C-alpha cells in the first residue's frame, strides 16, 4: 500500500514525464505543420523541442521530487552525489590521458561517421555524467546497506 | 544519540508507517531514527516532541 508521500512522489514523476512527452510531441507537431512536413528544414526546431522537453523533465523531476523527499532522504542524496560523483571524476580522470595519447581511433569508432567537435563534446559530457551517476548510485547503495 | 521513539510509538499502538504519516516523513526514516542510524534535525526533533507531548530531552539523549 502506498502512503500519501509515496503517491505524491510518484505523481510528480508522472507530471514530469507526461509534460515532457506533451512538449516534445506537441512542439514537433506544430513545427512540422509550420514547415509543411519538411523534416530537414525543421530539424533545428525539432532539436530545440527535444531540449525543452528534457529541460522540463530535469526541472520538474528535480524540483518537485526533491521537495517531496524528507530530510534523511535529501541528506542521503546529497551525500551520495557529492561522494559518488566526486570519486567518479577522480577515477575517470586518467581516461583523459589515455584518450589524449591513443584514444583517437577508439573515439572515432564510438561516434561513427559523425566525428565532429560537437559529437566529441557530447560524448565527453555524456561519459562524465554516466560516470557520476554510476558513482552516485554506488554511494547511495552503500548508504542503503549501512542504514538497514 | 539514543531515543525513546520506538517505545513511545509502541505505547500508542502506531505502526512505523502511521508515525511516518503523522510526521510527514518516510517509513524508512522512522526506522532509521528508531534504530539510531539517523539523527533527526532540530526541526524534526521538535516535531516529534510536539507529537508525543514531551520535551526533546525526554525523547533524545546523548550516548
Q: How many residues does chain B have?
A: 63
Residue A65 cell numbers, joined = 521530487
Residues of B in contact with A147 (CB under 8 A): 28, 32, 37-38
- Calculate mean pLDDT across residues B36-63: 94
Helix/strand/coil percent split, chain B, to 5: 60, 5, 30
pTM over 0.80: no
Render pLDDT for B6-39 as a digit per residue (tens, 0 to 9). Answer: 999 999 999 999 999 999 999 999 999 999 999 9
Tell me the C-alpha distance between B54 and A99, whole Å. Answer: 62
Is B25 close to A146, i.e. CB distance below 8 A? no
Nearest CB among A4, A73, A146 relative to B29 is that of A73
Report pLDDT for A1.
67
Residue B51 has pLDDT above 90, yes or no: yes
State how beta strands B60-61 and B2-3 pair. Answer: antiparallel
- Contacting residues for B62 by C-beta, under 8 A, at least 6 apart: B1, B2
Report pLDDT for A130.
93
Question: DSSP alpha helices (H): ranges in chain A?
Answer: 4-34, 39-68, 71-102, 104-111, 117-147
Nearest CB among B21, B24, B29 relative to A72 is that of B29
Closest chain B residue to A146 measured between Cα atoms? Answer: B37
Look at chain B and report how many structural domains it folds into. 1
Q: Where are the domains of chain A?
A: 1-68, 71-148
- Domain extent, residue B8, equals 2-61
Is B20 close to A73, i.e. CB distance below 8 A? no
Q: What does residue A112 show for φ and ψ, rounded to 5 degrees?
A: 65, -135
Is A3 close to B21, i.e. CB distance below 8 A? yes
By a Cβ cutoff of 8 Å, what residues of chain B touch chain A?
17, 20-21, 24-29, 32-33, 37-38, 40-41, 44
- pLDDT tens, per residue, chain A with 148 residues: 677 767 877 887 888 889 999 998 998 888 888 888 788 888 888 888 889 999 998 888 788 778 888 999 999 999 999 999 999 999 888 877 777 776 677 777 777 777 777 887 888 888 889 999 999 999 999 988 887 7
Partners of B61 in beta bridges = B2
CATH number at residue B40: 1.10.260.40
Amino acid at each position: 500500500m502506498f502512503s500519501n508521500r509515496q503517491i505524491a512522489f510518484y505523481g510528480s514523476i508522472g507530471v514530469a514525464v507526461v509534460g515532457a512527452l506533451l512538449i516534445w510531441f506537441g512542439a514537433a507537431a506544430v513545427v512540422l505543420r509550420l514547415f509543411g512536413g519538411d523534416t530537414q528544414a525543421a530539424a533545428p526546431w525539432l532539436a530545440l523541442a527535444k531540449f525543452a522537453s528534457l529541460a522540463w523533465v530535469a526541472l520538474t523531476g528535480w524540483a518537485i521530487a526533491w521537495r517531496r523527499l524528507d530530510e534523511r532522504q535529501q541528506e542521503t542524496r546529497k551525500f551520495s552525489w557529492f561522494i559518488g560523483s566526486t570519486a567518479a571524476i577522480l577515477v575517470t580522470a586518467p581516461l583523459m590521458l589515455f584518450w589524449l595519447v591513443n584514444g583517437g581511433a577508439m573515439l572515432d569508432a564510438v561516434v561513427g561517421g559523425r566525428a565532429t567537435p560537437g559529437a566529441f563534446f557530447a560524448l565527453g559530457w555524456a561519459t562524465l555524467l554516466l560516470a557520476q551517476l554510476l558513482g552516485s548510485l554506488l554511494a547511495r547503495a552503500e548508504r542503503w546497506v549501512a542504514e538497514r | 544519540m539514543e531515543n525513546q521513539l520506538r517505545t513511545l510509538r509502541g505505547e500508542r499502538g502506531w505502526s512505523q508507517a502511521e508515525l511516518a504519516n503523522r510526521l510527514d516523513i518516510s517509513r524508512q526514516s522512522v526506522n532509521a531514527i528508531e534504530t539510531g542510524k539517523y539523527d533527526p534535525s532540530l526541526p524534526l526533533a521538535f516535531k516529534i516532541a510536539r507529537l508525543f507531548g514531551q520535551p526533546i530531552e525526554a525523547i533524545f539523549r546523548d550516548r
